[in-house]
Amino acid sequence: MSYEISRNIVKNELVDKIEELSGQNVFDCYQCGTCSAGCPVVEYMDIMPNQVMRLAQFGATEDLINSKTIWICSACLQCSTRCPKGIEVAKVMEALRSINLRKRVGTLDPNKIETEDLQDLPPIALVGAFRKLTG
């Protein structure tokens, strides 16, 4: 007997929220792995992009919300352009970051940036990092 993961089986607040924020249907993913194969920062992730999609299908809230991957993702859109199912995986990553940020949970504390770094980094990099990583 085979079990197909579908929206009818997984009733989960996280799945609904991802769909609302990203506009993507995580159940469209058939785990081909193309997104992970082309991701330029996958080696730094604790969960690969295709695994993010699979965990989202299962509604594995804690694993996703607490993963390093959603912060490591550089939003380069490579995965979104290559997915054969047309899923914008980068938007799913963004949705997961947003769920954390809306709870004021971020991964960058501006007060902990070294003074030398503040002097060396271009302002646009700091603004981008604050917008993406600060809750």
Under the rule (CB under 6 A), what is the footprint of ligand SF4? 29-35, 39, 41, 49-50, 53, 73-79, 83, 85, 87, 89-90, 93
Give the HSE-up count for residue 29: Cα atoms under 13 Å, Cβ half-sphere. 26
- Which ranges of 1-135 does DSSP label H, i.e. alpha helix? 13-22, 34-38, 49-58, 61-65, 69-72, 78-82, 89-102, 115-120, 123-133
Tokens of 2: 């085979």
Of the two residues 86 and 110, which places its CB atom closer to ligand SF4 in the complex?
86
Q: For the CB of residue 5, give the shortest distance to ligand SF4 in the complex, in Å.
A: 12
Of the two residues 110 and 128, which places its CB atom closer to ligand SF4 in the complex?
128
Q: For the CB of residue 96, give the shortest distance to ligand SF4 in the complex, in Å.
A: 11
Of the two residues 88 and 113, which places its CB atom closer to ligand SF4 in the complex?
88
3-state secondary structure (DSSP) of residue 103: coil
Q: For the CB of residue 1, give the shortest distance to ligand SF4 in the complex, in Å.
A: 24
